[in-house]
Structure 1
Amino acid sequence: MKYNLFKFLKLLAFTVFFWSFASTLFIVIRFFAYGEEQGSAYVNPKNIIPITEWLDFGLILGIIIGVFYAVVEFSFEKYFSQRLNLALSIFLKLVIYLSILIISLSFITFIAEERMDIDLANEPGWWRTDPLFWLSTTYFLLTSLVFSFIRIANDKLGSGVFIKMLLGKYRKPQEEKRILMFLDLKDSTAIAEQIGHQKYSQFIQDCFFDLNKILRRYDAEVYQYVGDEAVISWTYKNGIKNNRCIGLFYSFQETLSKRSKYYQKTYGLNPRFKAGLHGGQLMVAEVGTIKKEIAYHGDVINTTSRIQNECNTYNENLLISNTLLDDIDLNRIYTSKTLGAIQLKGKQEIIDISAIHLE
């Protein structure tokens, strides 16, 4: 509950800022482009009403749209994203946003008339033939596309990575200290044979949908999905803070457990996952030209994968390298159990690992 409130407030702050800026920018553009159009939309030439007056209303309009936008986006993401296809979701949002724009502009023009003693179009049905409304609608629809692009890019690349790509940070490989988790479905081959490949695909989709619900709560990013495996990443500092890299795994287990009735009814089984954790220095680079993405290179990746593979050997759900564990201050709800050393495939290097248990 607290996390959902925090998530909504974060989205609200972003949408209000974004739409306040977009609205005031529109006011500035219209003010200086008034010219010969002064008789069509407003009865007063622009030099009678100072721009500061209009900017106040632009800011109010931006706040109103931003609040409604946050409510709609949050509601669709939380309750409808898995039920509606993309085309229907876009259409419904378009209808809602158009309605919000009509109501918001009618409200603003009514207040502006009273405050500035001018005559503005706001009678019932005014928007059908008003050229300024359709100009505003076109502007806000284009701005909505920019807003959606930023959100999609952020979801695709991870929070903050999109801006770094725009600035060209990863065009030259950069060294970063990160934590990786290889999260893999247990008994995947047997499950695929049991329920068939079509249902299995839906099964994996449901599991990762549940995973995505909690990622932001633990400040985690998905590096990539590989079949029934997800590779999750943190900056080193964020990953060890409040045991986030460990807490994510057990929170995911709890989420799956709460939906056990759904999984049993739909697939006749409950999903179980295993994971390996490791951290250290690796290289981060922007790769590809047709389909650009951020890639990680270094021994940390191979080592983490190797640790995860040992889960079956030791019959454990979560294994971690001792080098990473030494930097984590385990709270009272977790305990660790040293298992010994493993040799990395193709190397002479030995690494000590431990199992993490929930009290």
Structure 2
Amino acid sequence: MNYTLKQYLQLLKQSVLFWTIAMVLYSIFRYYGIDSEEGLAIIKKYNGTLGAFYYFIKFIHIGVLIGVLYASVDFIFNALTSNKISLTNDIILRTLFHFIVTFTVFMMITDLFVTLTYTTSHTHTGLYCFNKSFWAAILYIILASFVFSFIKIANEKFGKGVFIKMLLGKYKNPQEEKRIFMFLDLKDSTTIAEKLGHFKYSQLIQDCFYDLNKVVPKHNAEIYQYVGDEVVLSWPYKRGLADNNCVNLFFAFQQRKQAKSEYYLQKYGVVPEFKAGLHGGKLMVTEVGIVKKEIAYHGDVINTSARIQGQCNAYKVPLLISDKLIQDLKINANLTCQFLGSVLLKGKQEEVNIHTIARV
């Protein structure tokens, strides 16, 4: 319940910010670009700068109201639709949903809109659907909702906050960051693939990653890469340590799969198990590519995380974590930590101390 509220508040913050900016821009176009038009005339109730200021303030109010409305609409839409629908269908259905809600609300509160925007109307209430200005406002809002949808898609593609940083050119030159990485891999993948066949196996991976994506936002993780049946997750160092996010995500994923064990058994004849390796530290992050731009991480942290995960089979445990990271975690009563020893990982000259963590 707390997470659902957190999701809504985050969406509300983004929506209100975007629509406030969008409606301020709209007010600038109307105030300075149009003095009057058929069926609608702007009343410059106050002269000069003061008049413009009051006019823009009213549109800020409208932007906030639209932001709250669309945040609620999107939240309900996300709850009613499946994350497995195609991107095209998602955008079309969401935009149609926005159009219906916007049209309905505008028809209901047109008089209020006219009052708030300092306009006078020569069209009777209820006949705004025949007014050019009405449709111009609707079209602007629908186009703006398209832009907002694409911004959210880009943000999901690159990770939380990364898209904005890319737009600002932060990663054009390599930057040093301190991050935690988890390499999460399907256990006994070769055996399962041979048993199921490539089509059924692909469906299994799709279902597993769908379940993983359900727990990723709850633990503030970022998905860096999908590589076959492996996922690479990442956290800014402090965010990964907070509430033991980097460890609790793994257990939350396990719990979700166990809760759906009957579904997996009926469809695939197996409940998939995953193994994971965790490590953290400083590394470089930069933007690479021209045709297909991506954010790439370079450094020993990546390699060490992958090598640690590769030791899970040898130690017969599902989760391994480096000694360096375990020292910064807060092991509470719900977790037990066991030191397994030192191992010389492939490509390294010094041994690395590794631990396993289990939930009580």
Distance 2:41 2:168 in 1: 45
Aligned ranges 1:260-339 → 2 under 5 Å: 260-339=261-340
Q: Which residue of 1 aligns with 2:125?
A: 123
**Kept in 1: contact 2:23–2:59 (CA 8 A):** yes
- Structure 2: give runs of 5+ residues left out of the alignment: none
Give the Å deviation of 1:41. Answer: 3.2
Structure 2 CA distance for partners of 1:172 and 1:122, relative to 1, 3 Å: farther
CA distance in 1, matches of 2:101, 2:119: 25
Contact persistence 1:243–1:328 (CA under 8 A): yes
- Superposed CA RMSD in Å reads 2.2
Note closer, same or farther for the CA distance 1:62–1:113 as it changes in structure 2 (3 Å cut).
closer
Distance across 2 between alignment mates of 1:126 and 1:243: 55
Give the count of matched residue pairs.
Answer: 356
Aligned to 2:214: 213
Tell me if the contact between 1:61 and 1:104 (Cα under 8 Å) persists in the aligned partners: no
Letter in 1 for 2:255: E
Return the letter of the residue paired with 2:29. Answer: I
SS, match of residue 98 in structure 2? helix
Q: Kindly report which structure 2 residues correspond to 1:225-236, keeping only aligned pairs within 5 A, or say none.
A: 225-236=226-237
Partner of 1:196: 197
Report deviation, 1:47: 5.2
Structure 1 pair 317–102 and aligned structure 2 pair: CA distance change class (3 A): same
Q: Does 1:350 align with 2:348?
A: no
Give SS of 1:270's match.
coil
SS at match of 1:348: coil
Q: How far apart are residue 64 of structure 1 and its match? A: 3.3
Mean Cα deviation higher: 141-150 or 162-171: 141-150
Q: Deviation at 1:83?
A: 4.7
Q: Which residue of 1 aligns with 2:245?
A: 244
C-alpha deviation, 1:142, in angstroms: 2.5
Instruction: Percent identity, please.
Output: 47
Equivalent residue, structure 2, for 1:41: 39
Query: Secondary structure of the residue that 2:160 maps to in structure 1?
Result: coil
Letter in 2 for 1:13: K
| Closer, same or farther: CA 154–88 of 1 in aligned 2, 3 Å | closer
**Partners of 2:196 and 2:80 in 1: CA distance:** 27
Structure 1 residue 258: deviation in Å? 1.6
Residue 333 of structure 1 deviates from its aligned partner by: 0.7
Secondary structure of 1:170's partner? Answer: coil
Work out the CA distance in 1 between the residues paired with 2:185 and 2:271: 14
Q: Post-superposition shift, 1:48? A: 6.8
Q: Structure 1 residue 140: deviation in Å?
A: 1.8
Please state how far the C-alpha of 1:112 moved relative to its aligned partner: 4.8
Say if 1:241 and 1:84 are closer, same or farther in 2 by CA, change over 3 A: closer
The residue that corresponds to 1:187 in the other structure is 188
Map of 1:103 onto structure 2: 104
Aligned to 2:94: 93
For 1:53 and 1:120, the matched residues in 2 are separated by 23
State how far apart, in whole Å, the 1-side matches of 2:230 and 2:252 are.
17
What's the offset of the Cα at 1:351? 0.4
Structure 1 residue 27 displacement after superposition: 1.9
Q: Decide whether the 8 Å contact of 2:340 with 2:356 is kept in 1.
A: yes
